Amino acid sequence: MNSSDVKLIEHLLRRASFGSTRDEADRYVSMGYQAAVDFLIDSEDDSWVGEFMVRRFDHEASGMINYPGSARIWLYRMITTNSPLREKMTLFWHQLFATGDDKVINGRVLHEQIQMFRAHSMGKLDRLLLELAKDPAMIVWLDNQDNHKGAINENWGRELLELFSMGVGNYTEDDIKECARAFTGWTIGNTEYMMARSKKDSDWPYGRINYFFDYREDDHDGGVKEFLGHSGEFNGEEIINIICEQESTARFIARHFYNFFVSDEPPVPSWPYVPPKDPEAIQILVDAYFEGSYDIKHMLRVLFNSDFFKDEKIRYQKIKSPTELVAGTLRMTEEFDRPRYEMVMRNVQMGWMGQFLNNPFTVEGWHQGLEWIDSGTLVERLNFLSEQFGDIEKPGVSKMVDKLFEASVDYSASDLVEKCLNELGGLEVSTDTEEILVEFAGECLGQKEKFPQLIRLAAVCDEFQRT
């Protein structure tokens, strides 16, 4: 396999995973690009036992009295999973279907929502939206427990159309009202009892219990509805089926895929007025959406095998989100072989960078791209990377140092830098950055104790902040 093929697979791992160690990258390289794509898409992490490890070593997280506990469990899964794309897609849907603790106020409920996203993250969009409509966290977040026959609450119906499927400009206010009518009676069962139990936290150490979905037929408006040109006695399932048939839905989801995996688009509120960066790429994804009958795996397979994804011009053009940065780094440094108290700080550090998992700032989720970076968050990112990669006590860093030292006997400073960047997932840097690294590497030759400083210096460069 030539070097360009290797670089392409490394690019795939930065976008479809959380980056990779050199050993991980080599395993995917040995497969070849197509096989690597298929493995990422089709792999299931059935062997993951992290939930039991959390129960044993982090009782506070296991109890999920509040959302940081559920966030820590998820972060631990990201850094230990053998199915990184599924976790990446879970993050994608969490960002798109933003739900937060500020209103839900129950870590267990938020945890169960993430479990739902994981289970359906790469299935059919219609099934995912149906599960979302039944999800207690979303019901609370968008007030559908207050959506009653004869007294509708439009919040869920509006956001389903505006933020979760079709986008502004593709429906009317009447469509919102009819959508809300179809979802009357979709609520939470035995609410008063569940809230009382949750407040008492009486199930410790197992923690708070989850709400559950309840369909109340006597509270459902079964009358005729007029929705997006269709007429009938629609319930929520029929509404979702109609939504998924729309080209506007395919185009909206396709643009989100492009924005997440390929290249930053303008903020979502501007999409009705600003055309896509690459209309041809969006059309390819729209076609894949209908070819696969709304199948997310099919869309991903088309995306990762496309020329627009493989284009060298898009590499290192996306800023890593705090979650991508932290999870990817911890996978490399191998700080956690089991849950430990330090998970608390890693979750907090991620929040300081601007992303508290399970608690986005608004219903629109987090803004992306350069908006991740300001003077404060950049300092937090650099301090985190310096702390992680400069610590030889971390197993992953120790392995990197041993490899570098073993090879350094016959290496020039330039060779040492190349080896170091290779250990960081095949990182490519600018000429200016390379010159700085080579100069420092010259001082490190034969001095093993300085090698963590070289790794740290490489990790804090601009390119490591990008995918």
Per-residue pLDDT of the chain (467 residues; tens, 9 = 90+): 788 999 999 999 999 999 999 999 999 999 999 999 999 999 987 767 777 788 788 877 877 777 888 899 999 999 999 999 999 999 999 999 999 988 888 888 999 999 999 999 999 999 999 999 999 999 999 999 999 999 999 999 999 999 999 999 999 999 999 999 999 999 998 777 766 766 665 555 556 777 899 999 999 999 999 999 999 999 999 999 999 999 999 999 999 999 999 999 999 999 999 999 999 999 999 999 999 999 999 999 999 999 999 999 999 999 999 999 999 999 999 999 888 888 999 999 999 999 999 999 888 888 888 999 999 999 999 999 999 999 999 999 999 999 998 877 778 999 999 999 999 999 999 999 999 999 999 998 888 899 999 999 999 999 999 99
Query: What are φ and ψ of residue 324, in 5° steps?
Result: -60, -40
The pLDDT value recorded for residue 192 is 74
Distance between CA atoms of residues 14 and 121, nearest Å: 19
Q: What number of other Cβ atoms are within 10 A of residue 137's Cβ? A: 26
Residue with tokens 């932290």: 326
**What token pair was written down for 114?**
């993430």
User: What residues contact 70, with CB distance under 8 A and at least 6 apart?
Assistant: 61, 64, 107, 108, 110, 111, 114, 357, 358
Tally Cβ neighbours within 10 Å of residue 217: 9
Angstrom distance (rounded) from CA 321 to CA 222: 44
pLDDT of residue 368: 85
For 122, 340, 381, the CA distances from 126, given in Å and listed in that order, are 11, 38, 37
> Is residue 186 within a helix (H) or strand (E), and if so which, with residue range?
strand 186-188
Per-residue confidence (pLDDT) for residue 199, from 0 to 100: 64
Looking at residue 67, its pLDDT comes to: 81
Q: CB count, 10 Å around CB of 146?
A: 14
- State the greatest distance between any 2 C-alpha atoms of the chain, in Å, as a whole number: 80
Let me know: does 221 contact 79? Beta carbons within 8 Å: no
CA 53 – CA 204 distance, rounded (Å): 17
Instruction: Note whether 65 and 107 are within 8 A (CB).
Output: yes
3-state secondary structure at position 432: helix
pLDDT of residue 352: 96
Distance CA 411, CA 444 (A): 11
Residue 391: per-residue pLDDT: 96
277 vs 374: CA distance, rounded Å: 25
pLDDT, position 446: 83
Tell me, yes or no, if the pTM score tops 0.85. Answer: yes
